[in-house]
Amino acid sequence: MEPAYIDLYRSGELKQRVQKLEARLASCDLCPRECHVNRLENESGFCHSAYLPIVSAVCVHHGEEPAISGSRGSGTIFFGNCTMRCMYCQNYQISQDWERQQLKEIDFPQLAERMIYLQDELGCHNINFVSPSHFIPQLVRAVLEAVPRGLRVPLVYNSSGYDSVTSLNELDGLISVYLPDLRYASNAWASKFSHVKDYVPHAHAAIKEMYRQVGDLIVDEYGVAEKGLIVRHLILPNNIAGSEESLRWLAEEVSPTVTVSIMSQYYPSHKARRSRMLGRTITEEEYEEVLRILDDVGLENGWVQEMGAAGNYLPDFEKEGHPFSMDADARA
């Protein structure tokens, strides 16, 4: 299956989308925060990001969902900074250390070259953009640069779920696989632990738009994703994630056939160690309760991490080489 972005490039539509998206940077409204700073003039808002993309790590990742990692790994590009402030963020070294991340700005030919490197040199199944919500114009321009160099693998949009539907519209036909989180069912908890007062309505609207674009997961003969939506749900202690509400919403308002990835890997990273409610891993009882909810709401497609995953997926973006010790290949 040839990715649809190839046709967008041939028709000139991809170039038009770049121009439209970059114009929005003059009064940035890319994410739901709509800071309206002029990033073309290197002003920055909540995400502390200006015009050039910030790339914190480029690596082949074998620790994603089986349909994403496959046998050859996912070609992962970690963007720096974020539109959220999760106090338990496992990527806090690159999401909430803005001064250091400014040193990792690169230009668009460099970003395109790294995409080709992941595809051709490392043989990755896809290009996996992590935390891309504040860099959508930059992402699309890099794809525009990379297609004539031979880019041809599916593109994965791996986000917090706190996305703007208006921005996602510009990715229609460009992104093959959407991989959003559905972190909360309560705006109060989202505000307290991630500094986002309106997470739930925006995540719900974004996931519906993603599903409209790509539908249910389609895999090739080897079980590797070609197209579709995979929704991640991280089990949090003390039911902070609102698992029953979120999973029921997915089944009833998106589709009972939607693919979900239930993650038990929560670990109290960053500031969470000091939190009474988030300062521990999940219990066996909390884990079993989410499995019961899955059965009750009728979600059958996807994956569930086994208990004991906490700590297995913690990255270190300050060490030399790969941020994940389980993986072997990396390029800073």
Residue 142, H or E segment: helix 136-146
Mean pLDDT of 154-169: 98
For residue 331, the model assigns a pLDDT of 44
For residue 135, the model assigns a pLDDT of 98
Minimal CA–CA distance to 331: which of 163, 111, 71?
A: 111
Whether 76 contacts 60, CB under 8 Å: yes
Neighbour tally for 263: CB within 10 Å = 22
Backbone angles phi, psi at 102, to 5 degrees: -60, -25
The yes-or-no verdict on residue 182 having pLDDT over 70 is: yes
**Could you identify the residue written with the tokens 């939607």?**
258
In the chain, where do the E strands start and end?
A: 55-61, 74-79, 127-130, 155-159, 177-180, 218-219, 225-234, 259-263, 302-304, 330-331
Residue 165, H or E segment: helix 165-169
For residue 325, the model assigns a pLDDT of 62
Q: By CB neighbour count within 10 A (0-12 exposed, 13-18 middle, 19+ buried), where does 99 fall? A: exposed
Provide the whole-model pTM: 0.95
Q: Name the pairing type of β-strands 127-130 and 74-79.
A: parallel
Mean pLDDT of 162-170: 98
Which DSSP string do the residues of 191-211 spell out, in sequence order?
HHHHS-TTHHHHHHHHHHHHH
The yes-or-no verdict on residue 313 having pLDDT over 80 is: no
Residue 39: helix, strand or coil by DSSP?
helix
Domain tally for the chain? Answer: 1
Query: What range does the domain containing 251 cover?
Result: 5-331
Mean pLDDT of the chain: 95
For residue 328, the model assigns a pLDDT of 47
CATH of the domain at 310: 3.20.20.70
For residue 330, the model assigns a pLDDT of 43
Which positions ≥6 away from 191 have C-beta within 8 Å?
197, 199
pLDDT digits (tens, 9 = 90+) for 27-39: 999 999 999 999 9
Please report which confidence band the pLDDT of residue 327 belongs to, taking 50, 70 and 90 as the band edges.
Answer: low
Whether 168 contacts 30, CB under 8 Å: no
For residue 332, the model assigns a pLDDT of 42
